[in-house]
Amino acid sequence: MKGTLVLLDTLADREAAALMVDGKLHDLLIDPPEDAAPGVGAIAFAVADRPLKGQGGLTLQLGDGLTGYLRRAKDISPGDAFLVQVSGVVEPGKAIPVTPDLIFKSRYAIVTPNAPGINVSRAIRDEDERDRLLEIAHEGMEGDFGLILRSAAEGAEADAIAGDIASQLDIARKILAHDGTSPEWLLDAESAHAQAWRDWQTPDELVSEPGCFETHGALEAIDAALAVRQPLPGGAHAYIEATRALIAVDVNTGKDHSLAAGLKANLALVRELPRLFRIKGLGGQITLDLAPMPKRDRKQIEDAVKKSFRLDGSDVVVAGWTPLGNLELTRKRDRLPLTQVWPNP
Q: Are 8 and 304 in contact (CB under 8 A)?
A: no
- Hey, which bits of the chain come out as E strands? 4-11, 14-21, 24-30, 43-52, 57-63, 66-70, 81-86, 96-99, 104-105, 109-112, 117-120, 146-149, 184-187, 205-207, 229-231, 237-242, 247-252, 284-289, 316-321, 327-331
What's the rounded Cα separation, in Å, for the pair 44 and 47?
10
Place 145 in a pLDDT band, splitting at 50, 70 and 90.
Answer: very high
What's the rounded Cα separation, in Å, for the pair 79 and 47?
6
What's the rounded Cα separation, in Å, for the pair 73 and 172?
23
pLDDT (0 to 100) of residue 2: 86
Q: What is the mean pLDDT of residues 100-128?
A: 94
Q: Where are the alpha helices (DSSP H) in 184-296?
A: 192-199, 212-215, 218-226, 261-280
pLDDT (0 to 100) of residue 54: 67
pLDDT (0 to 100) of residue 267: 96
The CATH architecture of the domain made up of 104-176 is 2-Layer Sandwich (3.30)
Q: Could you tell me which residues come within 8 angstroms of residue 253 by beta carbon, excluding any fewer than 6 positions away?
A: 235, 236, 261, 262, 264, 265, 291
Are 43-99 and 104-176 in the same CATH fold? no
What's the rounded Cα separation, in Å, for the pair 158 and 134?
11
Determine if the pTM surpasses 0.75.
Answer: yes
Q: What is the pLDDT of residues 167-215, one digit of tens each?
A: 999 999 999 999 988 999 999 999 999 999 999 999 999 999 999 999 9
Instruction: With CA atoms as reference, report the closest residue to 27 among 197, 200, 194.
Output: 200
CATH number of the 43-99 domain: 2.40.50
pLDDT score of 216 more than 90: yes
> 159 — phi, psi (to 5°)?
-65, -40
Q: Are 287 and 323 in contact (CB under 8 A)?
A: no
Rounded to 5, what percent of the chain is helix, strand, coil? 30, 30, 40
Burial 131-161 (b: 16+ CB within 10 A, else e): ebbeebbeebbeeebbbbbbebbbebeeeeb
Q: Are 105 and 42 in contact (CB under 8 A)?
A: no
Q: Are 227 and 238 in contact (CB under 8 A)?
A: no
Instruction: With CA atoms as reference, report the closest residue to 183 among 286, 109, 98, 126.
Output: 98
User: Domain residue spans in the chain?
Assistant: 43-99, 104-176, 227-341
pLDDT exceeding 90 applies to what percent of the chain?
81
- For helices 127-140 and 158-176, the axis angle rounded to 10 degrees is 40
Q: What is the pLDDT of residues 56-108, one digit of tens each?
A: 789 999 989 999 999 877 788 889 999 999 999 988 788 999 999 999 999 99
